[in-house]
Chains A and B, each alone.
Chain A
Amino acid sequence: MDIVPFGSDPAAVATEPAGTAGGMYMGRILIKGGALVTMDRRIADLPAGDVLRSFRRRTARK
């Protein structure tokens, strides 16, 4: 399971095995909209919503 589509069937998601080694990393998930409170001082918050993939660019600039 690389990416969980937000609109996927909840029942299907519920029957998948519990995550074990590895899991999914932040950079592979897109978050659209919302006020992101990152709790990461390098990044700061993203109050108007953003995409987590952009973190890499933001971090690189700092």
Chain B
Amino acid sequence: MIDAADCIVLPGLINAHLHTWQSALRGIAADWTVAKYMAAMHRGLATLFRPEDLYIANLMGALNQIHCGSTTLVDWCHNNPTPEHTDAAIDGLAESGIRAVFLHGSPKPNPKPGQKHFSEIPMPRAEIGRLRNGRFAGRDGLITFGLAILGPYYSIYEVTRHDVELAREFDLLASMHVGGGVPIAAGGFERLAKEDLIRGRFNVVHGNDLSADVIRTITDRGGMFTVTAEIELQMGYGDPLTGQLNALNAPVSIGSDVEPAARGDLFTAMRVTLQHERNRRTLEIHAQTGSRPEAMPVSCRQALEWATINGAKMLGLDHRIGSLAPGKQADIILLRCGDLNLFPVHDPVASAVMQAGVANVDTVLIAGRIVKRGGKLLYADIEQKKSALRRSGERILSDFGLEPQRAA
């Protein structure tokens, strides 16, 4: 029995895109451009991670997601230089108790003499097989598996094709970034479509500068998009695709993306995405008609769909999570209606989207297990693990030549 009196009860939020391995580096990229991010994070800091850094970052990053009301996390892990790093990252997720999809991705270091550029290196088939046939052999565990591939923006076409086919061979989701520069394999999506390699279980993150034809090509073939509006706006990717996807009746899922630059909670992501799209669409209608719209172009309920059921659809898990319905897993969060920033609640959906924040998350259940109650995480060693996360971040920054400015 769950006593939810004076609470808003929601399905657990689904954070559809987070680089959890960066959790120890919060705040360092708040003023970074995309060029600085690619240089300092991927070609610099990422190369300094040890397996224990992956573990503590993923454990604490996942615990924070639970704290923030996310019961499912898509961990887009593109820092897997060795199997030991990968195993440590998965161990961190598992220890947190969160439901997660671990997406295995390739690091992007500068090549050493004699090495290929990362864009020419396909996903390691033996390693993917080891994971898929090992700890991810089952499909109904709390943590499942997929591929975070380079895709046409970050790899040559032959690598993209190889990685998409590898995902299909192992029956895994293939997720890829699109944006932040000039694609390495121009026309890559058109070629994938022509070769019939876009057929569901295909996720594009960002995609802001894709043409309308390419977006439709992907959605018509069952591909789904994830928007991370706050990061896309910071990095200057262009307008988030929210409106274009809505116009196509294609599900929008959302994620928080890069915690070194922005907040990790989905309450913020919902509001940033929603208000940006309202502004964009209102201006568009005004430009077309000379008048502002009489009805709000995007609703709070749509925003809540982005953070719940649409994330589940993108993952192919909507039969298990994403809504409160019989037969689904008991992933549930409770928000306190009596808190001053929510009270009085006249419209639970509006309050959840426009007023609520992390401080209102009273209780979190994942697969029926209470992992947060009374506003507190039920994880025993949180202070000890916080110290380990701080040490990890400070060591990495120091080795990189950045001295952390300790505040707390």
- Interface on A for B, CB 8 Å cutoff? 1, 3-6, 8, 10-11, 13-16, 18-40, 42-43, 45, 47, 49, 52-53, 55-56, 59
Contact = CB atoms under 8 A, between A and B. Distances in A.
Interface string B9-33: 1110000000000000000000000
B329 interface: yes
B224 interface: no
B378 A10 contact: yes
B380 A34 contact: no
Interface stretch (B121-129, B187-195, B344-352, B395-403): B344-352
Given A45-B348, A56-B326, A32 B3 contact: yes
A20 B370 CA distance: 14
Contacts, number: 159
Contact of A32 (B5, B142, B376): B5
Contacts of B304: 37, 39
Contacts of A56: 326
A62 B292 CA distance: 38
A42 B352 contact: no
A40 B4 contact: no
Interface stretch (B41-49, B150-158, B283-291, B317-325): B317-325
A35 B380 contact: no
Given A6-B3, A13-B369, A38 B325 contact: yes
B149 to A, nearest CB: 27
Contact of B11 (A13, A28, A32, A38): A38
Nearest to B5: A33
Contacts of B11: 37-39
A35 B368 contact: no
Contacts of B365: 4, 29
A23 B9 contact: no
A13 B337 CA distance: 25
A36 B9 contact: yes
A31 to B, nearest CB: 5
Given A10-B378, A37-B349, A39-B308, A18 B6 contact: no
A49 B2 contact: no
Interface in B132-163: 138, 140-142
B232 to A, nearest CB: 25
Given A1-B369, A32-B3, A37-B352, A27 B305 contact: no
